[in-house]
Amino acid sequence: MFKWGSPKSRGDLAEDRALRYLQQQGLQLIERNYRVAAGPHARGGEVDLILRERDGTRVFVEVRARASTAHGGAAASVTPAQQRRLVYAARHYLLQQASPPPCRFDVLALDGEQISWLRAAFDAD
């Protein structure tokens, strides 16, 4: 049964808000919630949003939302393990491209009503 206010529904709403914001900045949506499995006993990865900049750069976005900036806020909640899973999924996505474009990893942090867009928040290394 669907429960309003569940973590999944709050996450979907945060992604909707992030997508609208990024589209207003001129980015175009390519794919949402791109998921890849790693194996039966290994955790795969997911990219919340894959977008295209005007110059063709692929932007892999992790969306994080928190009610407030307490405990470091939304951006601080992107752990190194989450970054590795995002990079894993992005690499899988790029393998499907005939000629991989330039890319970067952004974080869009939603702290209450405040939006912070951290371009090139981390590297694939």
CA–CA gap between residue 101 and residue 56 (Å, rounded): 7
75-86 confidence digits (pLDDT tens): 888 999 999 999
pLDDT digits (tens, 9 = 90+) for 38-70: 777 777 899 999 999 999 999 999 999 887 666
- Residue corresponding to tokens 């992030």: 18
Asked if 81 and 42 count as a contact pair (C-beta separation under 8 A), the reply is no
Q: 71 pLDDT band (50/70/90 cuts)?
A: low
Domains of the chain: 7-122 (3.40.1350.10)
Report pLDDT digits (tens) over 85-123.
999 999 999 999 889 899 999 999 999 889 999 999 999
